[in-house]
Amino acid sequence: MSALTKAKGFKKSKSGTYLSMAATAFGALGVAKRLKQARAEKDTLVLIDATVSAAAIVTGLAILYRELKRLGDDDVLLG
């Protein structure tokens, strides 16, 4: 298997999935900051926006977790 083929398969590997989960979780820090700021300023519109963003992050993490479980031992980079 060539290095280019392995690189293309990285996104569908366990390592790629973990990296995606970390990036998504890192995005949660920004959303948490926006939630805190919106509550302090009592800005309902920003609060709604941040809440929807938080729901999207939770959904994204759930999808990535499911993909991680689905990969199991069939890791692209290992085989």
**Is the overall model pTM greater than 0.85, yes or no?**
no
Amino acid, single-letter form, for residue 17:
T
- Hey, how many other C-beta atoms are within 10 angstroms of the C-beta on 35? 17
In degrees, to the nearest 5, what angle opens at C-alpha 15 toward C-alphas 10 and 63?
90
Four-point Cα dihedral 24, 26, 31, 32, nearest 10: 130
Q: How far apart are the first and last CA of the chain?
A: 9
Q: What is the pLDDT of residues 12-66, one digit of tens each?
A: 678 888 898 999 999 999 999 999 999 999 999 999 999 999 999 999 999 999 9
**pLDDT confidence band for 70 (50 / 70 / 90):** confident
Does residue 79 surpass a pLDDT of 60? no
Residue with tokens 């690189």: 7
pLDDT of residue 2: 60
